[in-house]
Amino acid sequence: MTRFTGWHMTAIIIGFFGVVIAVNLVMATLAVKTFGGTVVDDSYVAGQKFNHWLDTAKRQEASGWRADITRMTSGQVRVVLYAPHGTTSQLQVTGSATHPLGRTPEQPLAFSRDGDAFVTARALPPGRWLARVTVWDARRDLARFEKDLRP
């Protein structure tokens, strides 16, 4: 039987830390290659704006405007509006779709009326998108909606 010496302990410590460093390098490389962007650019500023965002959402909910935003099987985005006074004939809808982590460029959404709904002419590429839709008439913005569209 061989004696356990300082060289054996040195080999064990070097092997242990070698494995830890190798795993950390692999994980860091994978993280950098797969992360496409940031959720918010400045979390401090986003935190300060949070209460304003909540107030805006409460005002919009109180106004009576609602929207059902869906992604059709063709990839087109469909918006059905529920106006507080029941009329959507003079309204226009615009918007954009962004990838949640910035992997692909922002996609503008141009809507045209399709019966009681508004539908985009172009389909969104496959993947997860955050759709931001603005409803407006000739005078002003009436409502803004956001929806996470998952494949």
**15 vs 95 pLDDT, higher one:** 15
Tell me: the pLDDT tens digits for 67-109?
Answer: 889 999 999 999 988 877 766 667 888 899 988 776 778 889 9
Question: Mean pLDDT over residues 17-38, rounded?
Answer: 89
What pLDDT does 42 receive? 84
The SS3 assignment for 4 reads coil
Nearest to 69 by CA among 119, 113, 104: 119
Percent of the chain clearing pLDDT 70 (strictly above): 90
For the cut 90, the answer to whether the pLDDT of residue 140 exceeds it is no
Residue 9 has pLDDT above 90, yes or no: yes
Q: Between 75 and 17, where is the model more confident?
A: 17
pTM for this prediction: 0.66
Distance CA 76, CA 109 (A): 9
Confidence label for 1 from pLDDT (cuts 50, 70 and 90):
confident
CB neighbour list of residue 61: distance below 8 Å, 6 or more residues apart: none
